[in-house]
Amino acid sequence: MPGLEEKLKDLLFRLNDAAPEIEASAVISMDGLMLASALPPDVNDDDVAAISATLLGLGERTVEEFKQGALRQVYVKGDNGFTIITNTSQDNVLIVVTNENAKLGVVFLHIKVAAREIEEAFAHLLDTTPGQFTVFPPMPEP
């Protein structure tokens, strides 16, 4: 049975393949730790995690200051594409990088599906039903 990191990596590679505009993706913790990534080899995972956590913190302060409710997404537009950071609950976020031709409606749909799958992967950590994914296998009977 695959571990959490393997499940997340599989999900990220499927997400990257879901639309030609999606170039990279990652899951990080709210405190800036990389949990799993499907990033290009020339990208530093730790830098991406730290920068994304910082942007997320700024986004949270912004929606708080303007009383806009809970933060859902932060996105940054550059000359060559978008970086979209989505709160997936369970104290983690999904980062998706696209090229400049991204059809954001389609990308947001893929992000929504992936975020749900990430949430389910983390929910299984607490599930002790036999045959379900758990961090620690059940203790053998004495």
State residue 52's pLDDT score: 94
Identify the domain containing residue 43 by its residue range.
4-126
In a domain, 31, yes or no: yes
In a domain, 142, yes or no: no
CATH number of the domain residue 88 falls in? 3.30.450.30
Residue 140 has pLDDT above 90, yes or no: no
Split into its structural domains, the chain has a count of 1
State residue 54's pLDDT score: 93
In a domain, 131, yes or no: no
**What are the pLDDT digits (tens) for 14-73?**
999 999 999 999 999 988 999 999 999 999 999 999 999 999 999 999 999 999 999 999
In a domain, 140, yes or no: no
**What are the pLDDT digits (tens) for 89-109?**
768 999 999 999 999 999 999
In a domain, 15, yes or no: yes
Q: Please compute Rg for the chain using Cα positions.
A: 16
Residue 123 has pLDDT above 90, yes or no: no
SS (H, E, C) the chain: CCCHHHHHHHHHHHHHHHCCCEEEEEEEECCCCEEEEECCCCCCHHHHHHHHHHHHHHHHHHHHHCCCCCCCEEEEEECCEEEEEEECCCCEEEEEEECCCCCHHHHHHHHHHHHHHHHHHHHHHHCCCCCCCCCCCCCCCC
- Find out whether 52 and 75 touch, Cβ atoms under 8 Å: no
